[in-house]
């Protein structure tokens, strides 16, 4: 049975502010479509939503001609670069906004976790927000009460249940939001990248719950994430999006491989503007003295990673995180406080740089990096997921000259010693 159907879905946005002529465009659209019964004149204009280039049109297509179906009980992973249209698609399904063209058909109640704080009233307590969300989904007071203990236990927010949500950290808000969405028995669960705000323990717990919801209860899950390992572990079907269009619908393994193959491995520097957050990641560099930027790095070379960040005011209890991925699987995580615990005490206002060397003997392949700044056991303040990629080759090793092929993830430097008995 089909649970969700997207038919010819497109979403157009107009860039700019309300005072730059939007009203006149809206009146023109109303006159042409409602009075004269003509085609919307603005559907013929607009450019793809390519964030990497400057466009000429004031209209952009966040989504264009989306067609696919999701069967009941399926867990579908939606992946793509920032600006691909993933979140817009989920907002349309959740009725946060309406499509410009096309129709969405969904069977059953939809519970969505799209952004931190979505669906919460900041002045209301956690308990009051639980009942409000349940009521919006059509549940009775008694039904919500029967689920209250499970929600509170899963979220780990029992101590703060009667505190206004505006006092919650982003991590606490996400935990409670996911607990509500997953336990109020929706037929369709929609989860955006917002789970990345939570700590690693909660992410694992949330993924386990989504597996239970889909396999044990036969409910449908749409999951957007930049964590390819989580997508491969949770989803059977994948959807790859790029610039508002669907590039591929296939098994998760094939979709992830297609996505990774599109990484730019020649760019060794990325920069981002200072945002409104207390701490912002502003750049990353991959430095290798032995190979030019447009060539693969040899597995025996020393490769330095530099991370740049800005602090608006002196801050304490924060860490910088680094995650290395290969083929969508996270190989390891590292935090700057692992070997410098004094950084938890205080980081001074201003621009900072932290750096380290990658371990040698990574096996050939394409690797990519995710960076984060967060508060331990609370959640992330700023993140740059899968932000830069590089290629490792085995150019100079003896085994290459001898024609050896080695499997696995690393080339372990193990010292063997043989003796005759």
Residue 236 lies in a domain: yes
Q: Which of 245-254, 370-379, 391-400 has the lowest mean pLDDT?
A: 391-400
Could you list the residue range(s) of the whole structural domain that residue 344 is in?
269-402
Segment 130-144, tens digit of pLDDT: 999 888 877 888 988
Model confidence at 49: pLDDT above 70: no
Confidence of residue 58 (pLDDT cuts 50, 70, 90): confident
Domain boundary among the residues 230, 261, 292 is at 261
Segment 286-345, tens digit of pLDDT: 988 666 655 677 777 788 999 999 999 998 889 999 999 887 777 888 998 888 888 888
Number of Cβ within 10 Å of residue 306's Cβ equals 14
Same domain, 388 and 306: yes
Q: Rounded to whole angstroms, how far apart are CA atoms 240 and 74?
A: 16
Same domain, 255 and 320: no
Give the global pTM.
0.68
Number of Cβ within 10 Å of residue 61's Cβ equals 22
Same domain, 205 and 256: yes
**Is residue 190 a contact partner of residue 113, using CB atoms and an 8 Å limit?**
yes
The size of the chain, in residues, is 421
Same domain, 88 and 219: yes
- 71 has which bridge partners? 2
Same domain, 284 and 193: no
Three-state SS sequence of the chain: CEEEEEEEEEEEEECCCHHHCHHHHHHHHHHHHHHCCCCCHHHHCCEECCCCCCCCCCEEEEEEEEEEEEECCCEEEEEECCCCCHHHHHHHHCCCCCCCEEEEEECCCEEEECCCCCCCCCCCEHHHHHHHHHHHCCCCHHHHHHHHHHHHHHHCCHHHCCCEHHHCCHHHHHHHHHHHHHHCCCCEEEECHHHHHCCHHHHHHHHHHHHHHHHHCCCEEEEECCCHHHHHHHCCEEEEEECCEEEEEEEHHHHHHHHHHCCCCCCCEEECCCCCCCEEEEEEEEECCCCCCCCCEECCCCCEEEEEEEECCCECCCEEEEEEEECCEEEEEEEHHHCCHHHHCCECCEEEEEEEECCCCECCEEEEEEEEEEECCCEEEEEEEEEEEEEEECCCCHHHHHCCCCCCCECCCCCCCCCCC
Segment 100-154, tens digit of pLDDT: 889 999 988 888 877 766 778 889 999 998 999 888 877 888 988 998 999 899 8
Residue 39 lies in a domain: no
Q: Which of 201-215, 291-305, 396-410 has the lowest mean pLDDT?
A: 396-410
- 80 has which bridge partners? 241
Structure tokens at 225: 């994430």
Q: Among 204, 284, 223, which Cα is nearest to 80's? A: 223
Segment 291-300, tens digit of pLDDT: 665 567 777 7
Q: Among 223, 246, 4, 244, which Cα is nearest to 100's? A: 244
- 223 has which bridge partners? 77, 191
- The dihedrals phi and psi of 81, each to the nearest 5 degrees, come to -70, 165
Domain boundary among the residues 243, 261, 279 is at 261
Q: What is the CATH number of the domain that holds 293?
A: 2.70.50.60
Q: Rounded to whole angstroms, how far apart are CA atoms 156 and 229?
A: 25
**Is residue 90 a contact partner of residue 224, using CB atoms and an 8 Å limit?**
yes
Model confidence at 399: pLDDT above 60: no
The average pLDDT across 200-223 equals 80
Domain boundary among the residues 261, 289, 321 is at 261
Q: What is the CATH number of the domain that holds 91?
A: 3.40.50.300
What's the pLDDT score for residue 117? Answer: 67
Q: Rounded to whole angstroms, how far apart are CA atoms 418 and 73?
A: 55
Same domain, 232 and 154: yes
Model confidence at 18: pLDDT above 50: no
Residue 353 lies in a domain: yes
Residue 275 lies in a domain: yes
**Is residue 82 a contact partner of residue 161, using CB atoms and an 8 Å limit?**
no
What's the pLDDT score for residue 184? Answer: 77
**Is residue 172 a contact partner of residue 129, using CB atoms and an 8 Å limit?**
no
**Is residue 346 a contact partner of residue 315, using CB atoms and an 8 Å limit?**
yes
Task: State how far Cα 334 lies from the chain centre.
Answer: 19
Structure tokens at 167: 């006092």
Task: Please state, rounded to an integer, the average pLDDT across all residues of the chain.
Answer: 81
Same domain, 137 and 229: yes
Same domain, 257 and 274: no
**Is residue 129 a contact partner of residue 167, using CB atoms and an 8 Å limit?**
no
Same domain, 106 and 213: yes
Same domain, 206 and 279: no
Same domain, 196 and 173: yes
Residue 171 lies in a domain: yes
Residue 26 lies in a domain: no
Residue 340 lies in a domain: yes
How many separate domains does the chain show?
A: 2
Residue 17 lies in a domain: no
Same domain, 253 and 364: no
């Amino acid at each position: 049975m089909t649970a969700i159907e997207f038919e010819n879905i497109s979403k157009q946005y107009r860039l700019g502010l309300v005072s730059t002529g939007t009203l006149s465009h809206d009146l023109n659209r109303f006159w042409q479509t409602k009075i004269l019964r003509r085609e919307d004149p603005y559907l013929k204009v607009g450019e793809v939503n390519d964030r990497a280039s400057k466009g000429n049109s004031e209209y952009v297509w966040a989504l264009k001609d989306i067609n696919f179906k999701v069967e009941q009980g399926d867990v579908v992973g939606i992946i793509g670069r920032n600006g691909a249209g993933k979140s817009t698609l989920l907002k349309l399904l959740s009725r946060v906004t309406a499509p410009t063209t096309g129709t969405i058909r969904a069977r059953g109640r939809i519970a969505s976790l799209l952004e931190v704080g979505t669906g919460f009233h900041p002045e209301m307590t956690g308990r009051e927000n639980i009942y409000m969300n349940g009521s919006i989904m059509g549940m009775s007071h008694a039904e919500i009460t029967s689920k209250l203990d499970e929600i509170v236990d899963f979220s780990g927010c029992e101590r703060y249940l009667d505190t206004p949500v505006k006092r919650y950290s982003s991590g606490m808000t996400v935990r409670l939001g996911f607990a509500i969405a997953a336990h109020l028995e929706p037929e369709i669960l929609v989860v955006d990248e917002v789970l990345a705000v939570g700590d690693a323990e909660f992410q694992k717990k949330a993924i386990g719950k989504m597996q239970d919801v889909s396999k044990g209860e036969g409910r449908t899950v749409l999951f957007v994430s930049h964590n390819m390992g989580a997508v491969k572990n949770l989803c059977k079907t994948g959807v790859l999006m790029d610039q508002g269009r669907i590039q591929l619908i296939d098994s998760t393994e094939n979709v992830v491989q297609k996505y990774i193959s599109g990484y730019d491995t020649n760019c060794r520097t990325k920069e981002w503007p200072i945002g409104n957050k207390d701490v912002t990641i502003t750049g990353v560099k991959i430095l290798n003295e032995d190979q030019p930027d447009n060539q693969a790095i040899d597995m025996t070379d020393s490769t330095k990673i530099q991370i740049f960040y800005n602090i608006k005011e002196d801050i304490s209890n924060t860490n910088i995180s680094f995650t290395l991925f290969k083929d969508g699987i996270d190989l390891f995580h590292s935090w700057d406080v692992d070997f410098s615990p004094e950084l938890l005490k205080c980081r001074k206002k201003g621009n900072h740089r932290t750096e380290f060397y990658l371990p040698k003997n990574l096996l050939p392949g394409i690797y990519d990096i995710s960076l984060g700044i967060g508060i331990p056991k609370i959640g992330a303040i700023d993140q740059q997921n899968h932000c830069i990629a590089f290629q490792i080759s085995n150019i100079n090793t003896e085994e290459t000259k001898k024609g050896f092929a080695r499997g696995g993830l690393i080339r372990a430097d193990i010292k063997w010693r043989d003796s005759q008995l």
